[in-house]
Amino acid sequence: MSSFSVDEVARLAGLARIRLTEGEIERMAGELDVIASAVAKVSEVATPDVPATSHPIALTNVMRADVVVPTLDRDEVLAAAPASEDGKFLVPQILGEE
pLDDT tens, 4-29? 899 999 999 999 999 999 999 999 99
- Are 38 and 66 in contact by the 8 Å Cβ rule? The answer is no
- At 97 the pLDDT is 66
**Which pLDDT score is estimated for 53?**
77
Q: What is the pLDDT of residue 50?
A: 76
**Percent residues over pLDDT 70 in the chain:** 96
Residue 40, C-beta contacts closer than 8 angstroms, at least 6 positions apart: 1, 2
12-16, 38-42, 55-59: segment of lowest average pLDDT: 55-59
The domains located in the chain, with CATH, are 1-48 (1.10.20)
Task: Find the DSSP H helices in 19-97.
Answer: 22-45, 74-79
